[in-house]
Amino acid sequence: MSEMVKPRTLSGFMELLPGDQILFEKIKETLEQTYRSFGFLPLDTPVLEHSEILLAKAGGETEKQIYRFEKGDTDLTMRFDLTVPLAKYVAMNANDLAFPFKRYQIGKVYRGERAQKGRFREFYQADIDIIGDGKLDIRNDAEIPGIINTALTALGIDDFVIRINNRKVLNGLFQAFGIGDKAQDVLRTVDKIDKIGNEKVVEGLVELGVEEKKAASLMELLCAGESTEETLSRLKEYEGENETLKEGLFELEEVLRGMELFGVPKERFEADLTIARGLDYYTGTVYETTIKKHPEIGSVCSGGRYDNLAEFYTSRRLPGVGMSIGLTRLFYILQAQEYLNKGLAGAADALILPMTGEMSEAISLSADLRNRGIDAQVYFEDRKFKHKIAYADKLGIPFCVFLGEDEIRENKISLKKLSTGEQVTVDREEAVRLILEEKDLRKAAKTVIMK
Amino acid sequence: MSEMVKPRTLSGFMELLPGDQILFEKIKETLEQTYRSFGFLPLDTPVLEHSEILLAKAGGETEKQIYRFEKGDTDLTMRFDLTVPLAKYVAMNANDLAFPFKRYQIGKVYRGERAQKGRFREFYQADIDIIGDGKLDIRNDAEIPGIINTALTALGIDDFVIRINNRKVLNGLFQAFGIGDKAQDVLRTVDKIDKIGNEKVVEGLVELGVEEKKAASLMELLCAGESTEETLSRLKEYEGENETLKEGLFELEEVLRGMELFGVPKERFEADLTIARGLDYYTGTVYETTIKKHPEIGSVCSGGRYDNLAEFYTSRRLPGVGMSIGLTRLFYILQAQEYLNKGLAGAADALILPMTGEMSEAISLSADLRNRGIDAQVYFEDRKFKHKIAYADKLGIPFCVFLGEDEIRENKISLKKLSTGEQVTVDREEAVRLILEEKDLRKAAKTVIMK
């Protein structure tokens, strides 16, 4: 026997206990079902890719944060997002895909960042994107947040607002303010507004060489909108300034109008000109999603429109639009805030406790229950009665089924509901009805309850 | 713009086109649902672990095949199976788990093997295991193949046989034949029988120093059973020889009897004394599963009983039993043999084609259909009619919904069934009924059809 090794999991890698894992799976399923209900196709790309592929575009910051290594002659990297693999996939398979290509992917990505509370090195992203061939209708930019609204609502998260902006609006405004030549730098500075505040942004703009007065009045304009209507009406004043602004404003209005059509309630979305998204990748619509009660956690779901998904792999022009939920981080927050509905974390619907040495009746009952849609397990171990009940309790199984000689002879079932302690002896049909009734209640309940 | 990189995926890494990916997801879901219906808990462990943890037990062969690298000061390895991470997890969390701990895990594992057709470097395993605390009832050894039978049947795979043996039976027989001191080597030689045949195994045994006559009569005994009954009755003759054999025979009979209780049809399982399983890890029951029509592909689902899951991480004795489906390989075979039910690979239930510039009616119809359980997408792009129909066709969407001015005015829907070309104009209720009828048919169909 070799020496023992202390069992441990890498820091920054989420590993859940069973009850929480059940809830995580439920969240994943709800997202999948929602994405599919809008006709999105599943995609599953490898965790490992040629480094040359994943880093075709990447800058120095990405390089530092990645897991990259060699095996034999091959230079390998673990994927750090799901967008670059999507670009590769679409470029490779463009002739076999139907466009617009709507795909979702929920998968783990890897970043070798410094581990800290709430920061993960391995984490799930849940992405949806729509890729066009050559062009892509602006209404897709409204559908994407429409889907996110449906998904979050289905989870039980309702206290959120999707904030929407358009890069063309920003670039048009920068031009109108005569700072169009510094657009990228100005954008990156504006993007910090949530972190450093309005005044520091103005200081930053002045450092970039923008006149203080201009910087202040630009920031005043970006922050002014108290409501979407107000923001739009302020923007209208600049509409004639240039084509970029005009186009951006048209797109922004189309997206906002479309979101209403997609059933997103008014209070869950707004135009917000301070949303910039750091990445130079986006070219039109940009989104961020904030939980109103928890602005401190930042955006839980972000994305936008890009002109050219796969420019590093193909000359085919593939514009797209998408959003990504940082699922592991979102789960971490829901868990920490105790927003998870623990009542749904049951391992099964019923635990069958055979009260005789012979198990055949219990096993055949379990098969029958499963055929009727009940998740049922038999407890085989030779343990004290108390231990068996504690087992069901620990696993959150709502019902124990006792099958003793009396029950078998009389063709009855004794059913104990653990939450109330109530016990009844009934025929099989009635037992099935009671168990399914409880199951339906849990099915209808949401995984997240934001008190 | 930087230079272009040819988009490509690493060899030995499966990446599917959308239609096949839908079917892969369906298979994964069927397995998950089956595992859950027996009360199994989901588990999701990291892809990366400390090398020290994953390699606590491993021999040289494993070391050569793994993806191992350093990041900062940390020596990391990508998991090569789901059993070692399970052992770590149970050892770490033993005090928080309820035993017997029944868990399933469907996840990717990594082996840096030489890539060849049908061999994968990244592949899914779908594992179920039951871990006991100190001891574990033998009936669990019958439940595991019972679950596999339920799962494969639910998929539509019915042409299989689960072959069962017991290590104690083999070790007892080796003792009875006076070659108990060479048990491990004999076992490994016998394990090759499917690959090299009976005669070569006898030669191998002779090389190990077993008398030729003894070797031949041992092999004759192991291969003799034409049926489970015959195998058992031949074994009975040796029952008195030693305790190991007696215990093994008792367990084997219990498992076979239990499988009948779990509803596994007689023709789908058999006692087979030639099943040895190479790993020295197993201590009792061992299983292999062969597709009858395709013996050449070997076992699609294997496993067994082990005495001590986590001996490298804890002094707590944790016996267990489990089976693992090599899911990627199984899918590859089903795909290559054209056993997949392509009719189920639809992206959605209905594609809505707005025939007017205004999309609001189409979008609100799509939301209504989704609320009624129909996966519906709207086609937004400005393309030729023919192109739109081809899109639905390529995505396997069974119905197109036309919404023109007439339909909107009359509150009707024109519905075209693509498989027949039939088109009707009906009210919304009737359209929903027709779409759901078709959906139910597809829901009831199996993902695999073995012609």
Q: What is the CATH number of the domain that holds A394?
A: 3.40.50.800
Whether B42 contacts chain A with CB within 8 A? yes
Do residues A330 and A378 share a domain?
A: no
- When pLDDT is averaged across residues A394-420 and rounded to a whole number, the result is 95
Residue A68 confidence (pLDDT) above 70:
yes
Q: Nearest by CB to A348, which of B39, B71, B99?
A: B39
Residues 123 through 162 of chain A touching chain B, CB cutoff 8 Å = 132, 135-137, 139-140, 143, 150
**Residues of B with CB below 8 A from A359's CB?**
139, 258, 261
Whether B436 contacts chain A with CB within 8 A? no
Residue A369 confidence (pLDDT) above 90:
yes
**Cα–Cα distance between B430 and B436 in angstroms, integer?**
10
Q: Do B39 and A10 touch (CB under 8 A)?
A: no
Q: Are B264 and B161 in contact (CB under 8 A)?
A: no
Residue B337 confidence (pLDDT) above 60:
yes
Do residues A147 and A263 share a domain?
A: yes
Residue of B59 and A312 predicted with greater confidence: A312
Do residues A71 and A157 share a domain?
A: yes
What does the buried/exposed string (b/e) look like for A425-442 if buried means 16 or more CB atoms within 10 Å of the residue's CB?
Answer: eeeeeebbebbbebbeee
Count H helices, E strands: chain A?
17, 16
Q: Do B18 and A261 touch (CB under 8 A)?
A: no
Give the distance from residue B148's alpha carbon to the nearest chain A alpha carbon, in angstroms.
Answer: 14
pLDDT of residue A175: 92
Whether the bond between A100 and the residue before it is cis, its omega within 30 degrees of 0, is: yes
Give the residue carrying structure tokens 């997240």.
Answer: A448
Q: Which residue, among B435, B291, B292, has the nearest Cα to B373 in the 3D structure?
A: B435
* Pairing mode, strands B350-354 and B269-271: unpaired
Do residues B381 and B278 share a domain?
A: no
**Cα–Cα distance between A187 and A204 in angstroms, integer?**
11
Summarised one tens digit per residue, pLDDT across range A85-112 is 999 999 999 999 999 999 999 999 999 8
pLDDT of residue B38: 98
Do residues B268 and B413 share a domain?
A: no
Residue B284 confidence (pLDDT) above 90:
yes
Do residues B439 and B297 share a domain?
A: no
Q: Do B48 and A310 touch (CB under 8 A)?
A: no
Q: Is residue A222 part of a domain?
A: yes
pLDDT of residue B39: 98
Cα-trace Rg, chain A: 27
Q: Exposure of B398 by Cβ count < 10 A (0-12 exposed, 13-18 middle, 19+ buried)? A: buried
Q: Is residue A449 part of a domain?
A: no
- When pLDDT is averaged across residues B342-360 and rounded to a whole number, the result is 93
Q: Nearest by CB to A10, which of B6, B50, B312?
A: B50
Q: Is residue B3 part of a domain?
A: no
Do residues B83 and B218 share a domain?
A: yes
The residue of B3, B10, B49 whose CB has the most chain A CBs within 10 angstroms, and thus the best one to mutate to test that interface, is B10
- Sign for the CA dihedral angle at A419, A420, A421, A425 comes to negative
% of chain B surpassing 90 pLDDT: 79
Q: Are A126 and A104 in contact (CB under 8 A)?
A: yes
Whether B1 contacts chain A with CB within 8 A? yes
Do residues B177 and B162 share a domain?
A: yes
- When pLDDT is averaged across residues A46-72 and rounded to a whole number, the result is 86
- When pLDDT is averaged across residues B330-346 and rounded to a whole number, the result is 96
pLDDT of residue B188: 86
Q: Which residue, among A148, A149, A186, has the nearest Cα to A167 in the 3D structure?
A: A186
- Euclidean distance between the first and the last CA atom of chain A, given in angstroms as a whole number: 52
The token pair that represents A30 in the structure block: 């709800």
Strand partners, A448: A340
Confidence category of residue B76, pLDDT binned at 50, 70, 90: very high
What is A236-305 written as a DSSP string?
A: HTTGGG-HHHHHHHHHHHHHHHHHHHTT--GGGEEE-TT---S-TT--SEEEEEEETT-GGG-BSEEEEE
Q: Do B71 and A112 touch (CB under 8 A)?
A: yes
Q: Are A83 and A311 in contact (CB under 8 A)?
A: no
Whether A86 contacts chain B with CB within 8 A? no
The DSSP code for B282 is -
Q: Is residue A12 part of a domain?
A: no
Q: Do B22 and A6 touch (CB under 8 A)?
A: no
Nearest CA in chain B to A257: B360
Do residues B328 and B226 share a domain?
A: yes
Residue B34 confidence (pLDDT) above 70:
yes
The token pair that represents B321 in the structure block: 């039993």
**For residue A304, is it left (φ>0), alpha (ψ between -120 and 50) or beta?**
left
Domain end among A313, A336, A359: A336
**For residue B128, is it left (φ>0), alpha (ψ between -120 and 50) or beta?**
beta
**Cα–Cα distance between A436 and A432 in angstroms, integer?**
6
With DSSP H G I counted as helix, E B as strand and the rest as coil, what are the percentages for chain B, rounded to 5? 45, 20, 35
Alpha helices in A135-272 (DSSP H): 140-155, 167-176, 183-190, 193-196, 198-207, 212-224, 228-236, 243-261
- When pLDDT is averaged across residues A16-38 and rounded to a whole number, the result is 98
Summarised one tens digit per residue, pLDDT across range B129-179 is 999 999 999 999 999 999 999 999 999 999 999 999 999 999 999 999 988
Residue A49 confidence (pLDDT) above 60:
yes
pLDDT of residue B190: 85
Residues 55 through 84 of chain B touching chain A, CB cutoff 8 Å = 56-57, 67, 69-72, 74, 76
The residue of A29, A113, A380, A393 whose CB has the most chain B CBs within 10 angstroms, and thus the best one to mutate to test that interface, is A380
The mean of the pLDDT values for chain A is 93
**Cα–Cα distance between A429 and A415 in angstroms, integer?**
12
Q: Is residue A11 part of a domain?
A: no
Give the distance from residue B215's alpha carbon to the nearest chain A alpha carbon, in angstroms.
Answer: 31
Q: Nearest by CB to B21, which of A7, A44, A380?
A: A44
Q: What is the CATH number of the domain that holds A316?
A: 3.30.930.10
The residue of B6, B31, B305 whose CB has the most chain A CBs within 10 angstroms, and thus the best one to mutate to test that interface, is B6
Q: Nearest by CB to A88, which of B7, B47, B377?
A: B7
Q: What is the dihedral of CA B45, B47, B49, B55, to 10 degrees?
A: 100
Give the distance from residue A114's alpha carbon to the nearest chain B alpha carbon, in angstroms.
Answer: 11
Residue B1 confidence (pLDDT) above 60:
no
Q: Nearest by CB to A139, which of B97, B359, B395?
A: B359
Question: How many C-alpha atoms does B66 have within 13 Å on its Cβ side?
Answer: 23
Residue A2 confidence (pLDDT) above 70:
no
- When pLDDT is averaged across residues B20-31 and rounded to a whole number, the result is 98
**For residue B17, is it left (φ>0), alpha (ψ between -120 and 50) or beta?**
beta
Q: Do A359 and B100 touch (CB under 8 A)?
A: no
Confidence category of residue B3, pLDDT binned at 50, 70, 90: confident
Give the SS3 label for residue A84: helix
Domains in chain B, number: 2
Look up the domain containing B389 and give its range.
Answer: 343-444
The token pair that represents A222 in the structure block: 């970006």
The mean of the pLDDT values for chain B is 93
Q: Is residue A3 part of a domain?
A: no
Strand partners, B270: B163
**Cα–Cα distance between B93 and B311 in angstroms, integer?**
14
**Cα–Cα distance between B36 and B30 in angstroms, integer?**
10
Give the distance from residue A379's alpha carbon to the nearest chain B alpha carbon, in angstroms.
Answer: 9
Whether A33 contacts chain B with CB within 8 A? no
Q: Which residue, among B44, B35, B40, B93, has the nearest Cα to A346 in the 3D structure?
A: B40
Q: Are A192 and A200 in contact (CB under 8 A)?
A: yes
pTM recorded for the entire structure = 0.96
The DSSP code for A342 is G
Q: Nearest by CB to B122, which of A46, A150, A395?
A: A46
Q: Is residue B308 part of a domain?
A: yes
Summarised one tens digit per residue, pLDDT across range A191-213 is 888 888 888 989 998 998 889 99
Domain end among B282, B301, B336: B336
What does the buried/exposed string (b/e) look like for A235-260 if buried means 16 or more CB atoms within 10 Å of the residue's CB?
Answer: beebeeebebbbbbbebbbbbbebbe
Do residues A109 and A208 share a domain?
A: yes
pLDDT of residue B187: 85
**Residues of B with CB below 8 A from A48's CB?**
10, 13, 67, 110, 122
Give the residue carrying structure tokens 């004759």.
Answer: B220
Residue A254 confidence (pLDDT) above 60:
yes
- Euclidean distance between the first and the last CA atom of chain B, given in angstroms as a whole number: 52
Q: Do A46 and B9 touch (CB under 8 A)?
A: yes
From residue B326, give the alpha-carbon distance in Å to each of A197, B118, B302. 53, 11, 9
Residue B66 confidence (pLDDT) above 70:
yes
Do residues B203 and B307 share a domain?
A: yes
Domain end among B317, B336, B355: B336
pLDDT of residue B2: 54
- Residue A310 carries which side chain, given as an amino acid letter? A
Q: Is residue B215 part of a domain?
A: yes
Summarised one tens digit per residue, pLDDT across range B364-404 is 999 999 999 999 999 999 999 999 999 999 999 999 999 99
% of chain A surpassing 70 pLDDT: 98
Q: How far does CA A183 lie from the centroid of its chain?
A: 31
pLDDT of residue B116: 76
pLDDT of residue A6: 96
* Pairing mode, strands B399-403 and B350-354: parallel
Nearest CA in chain B to A57: B2
**Residues of A with CB below 8 A from B52's CB?**
5
What does the buried/exposed string (b/e) look like for B44-70 if buried means 16 or more CB atoms within 10 Å of the residue's CB?
Answer: bbbbbbbbebbbbebeeebeebbbbbe
Strand partners, B50: B76
The token pair that represents B19 in the structure block: 């239609």
Residue A265 confidence (pLDDT) above 90:
yes
- Taking residue A343's Cβ as centre, other Cβ atoms within 10 Å add up to 13
Whether A418 contacts chain B with CB within 8 A? no
Do residues B312 and B368 share a domain?
A: no
